[in-house]
Amino acid sequence: MFTGLTGAVVNALLETWYWRKPYSFIKAVGVLPPGLTVSFEHSQVVSYLVAGYGVTLPLVLIALAKHWKPYIASTVTVLLLAGLSPLIAPYSSVATWYRFLIGVAPLASTLSIIGLADSMRNKRITLLYLVTASLPGLAFTYGYNWSFDYTRALREFPSTLTPAPADGKLLETMSFFKNNDFTGSTVIVAHPDYARYVHLAIRNPDPSRLIWVNYATNETVCRIAESTGAKEIVLVAVKTPDTNTTMYKCLSDIKPVDKEHPWILVAQVKENMETNTAIRETLSN
């Protein structure tokens, strides 16, 4: 517990130093203190909790109720609250929420064995446990809203728990940016899956020069060009509503960087008044 709290304090201090203020402002949610980040994954939190702890959590509660240990109980509680933070604070979470749920697993598995031994002596508790454990099956049978997320809720666990090598395109992307310098007035707009590997190649990038987006619409790209003052934009495996790259009104000369990397596009930002006019037209439509 002490180690975890120390880490949380150090993390908050580092984030304050990085942002140069004790908060960050996100348009979607407003002001966030250090340690909190934007999250719209509350439905997946429910799925993760049921998939990962639907069988063990009742046994954990039984064990803690009968064998009260303040240190263990407080540790489990803090980790669970951090993991469930997207359900507690709307549109935000404590850093990467599911890693806290991964962190509580060793304690939960040990406590569940104790809870199982205690529950076998009480038929009512056993019946309640069986009903709770059947909920995932009900989700598939009756199609509850979170049943679609249930099958993919457990993250960072490859199929059959065997090592899963990264996609070759991801490694090629990392190698490309490691060997090619895109700094200065260039902004890299990358899909989140690829942005991680770009970040591995470009150490400590300026946050305004490496931007993660799921869908690079015309409005998104033009807003990025306007707010960053970029002269060149590199698009990395971004999803677009239209595969025709001429859709970007504020960009010109859009083309792949080379034949070996067709998913990496480079484009010039239209200059000065033309760019501003294109952006205003885009945002007004």
CB 55 within 8 A of CB 105: no
Q: Note whether 107 and 185 are same-domain residues.
A: no
- Comparing 68 with 273, the larger pLDDT belongs to 68
Task: Supply the pLDDT for residue 51.
Answer: 73
Whole-number Å distance between alpha carbons of 51 and 47: 6
CB 12 within 8 A of CB 34: yes
Reduce the DSSP state of residue 177 to 3 states and report it: helix
Task: Supply the pLDDT for residue 124.
Answer: 74
Question: Is residue 146, in this structure, part of any structural domain at all?
Answer: yes
Q: Note whether 26 and 155 are same-domain residues.
A: yes
pLDDT at 154 over 50: yes
How much is the average pLDDT of 26-49? 73
Task: Supply the pLDDT for residue 275.
Answer: 47
pLDDT digits (tens, 9 = 90+) for 77-116: 888 888 888 888 777 777 778 888 888 888 888 888 888 8
Residue 120 φ/ψ, nearest 5 degrees: -60, -20
Task: Supply the pLDDT for residue 2.
Answer: 60
Q: Within 10 A of 4 (CB to CB), how many other CB atoms are there?
A: 14
Task: Supply the pLDDT for residue 133.
Answer: 63
Q: Which of 131, 161, 191 is the last residue of a domain?
A: 161
Output the average pLDDT for the chain.
76
Question: Is residue 154, in this structure, part of any structural domain at all?
Answer: yes
- Give the neighbor-by-neighbor strand order of the sheet with 186-190: 210-212, 186-190, 232-236, 264-269, 251-256
Nearest to 182 by CA among 257, 239, 238: 257
pLDDT at 224 over 80: yes
Task: Supply the pLDDT for residue 205.
Answer: 80
Question: Is residue 2, in this structure, part of any structural domain at all?
Answer: no
Question: Is residue 4, in this structure, part of any structural domain at all?
Answer: no
Question: Is residue 267, in this structure, part of any structural domain at all?
Answer: yes
How much is the average pLDDT of 231-247? 70
pLDDT at 29 over 80: no
Helix, strand, coil % in the chain, rounded to nearest 5: 55, 15, 30
How much is the average pLDDT of 122-128? 72
Q: β-strands 251-256, 36-38: how paired?
A: unpaired
Q: Note whether 137 and 106 are same-domain residues.
A: yes
Domain of residue 68, residue span: 18-161
Range in 117-131, 153-167, 188-202 with the lowest mean pLDDT: 153-167
pLDDT at 221 over 60: yes
Task: Supply the pLDDT for residue 36.
Answer: 74
Nearest to 235 by CA among 285, 203, 243, 227: 243
Q: How many domains does the chain contain in total?
A: 2
Question: Is residue 5, in this structure, part of any structural domain at all?
Answer: no
How much is the average pLDDT of 171-196? 87
Task: Supply the pLDDT for residue 97.
Answer: 83
Task: Supply the pLDDT for residue 273.
Answer: 38
Task: Supply the pLDDT for residue 176.
Answer: 92
Task: Supply the pLDDT for residue 95.
Answer: 74
Strands (E), the chain: 24-26, 30-32, 36-38, 92-94, 186-190, 210-212, 232-236, 251-256, 264-269
pLDDT digits (tens, 9 = 90+) for 248-282: 788 888 888 888 898 998 888 887 534 455 555 55
Q: Note whether 136 and 241 are same-domain residues.
A: no
Place of tokens 């340690």: 35
Q: Which two tokens stand for residue 103?
A: 């962190």
Task: Supply the pLDDT for residue 153.
Answer: 65
- Comparing 78 with 234, the larger pLDDT belongs to 234
Residue 232 φ/ψ, nearest 5 degrees: -145, 140
Whole-number Å distance between alpha carbons of 262 and 236: 9
Whole-number Å distance between alpha carbons of 262 and 150: 34
Q: Note whether 23 and 111 are same-domain residues.
A: yes
Question: Is residue 224, in this structure, part of any structural domain at all?
Answer: yes
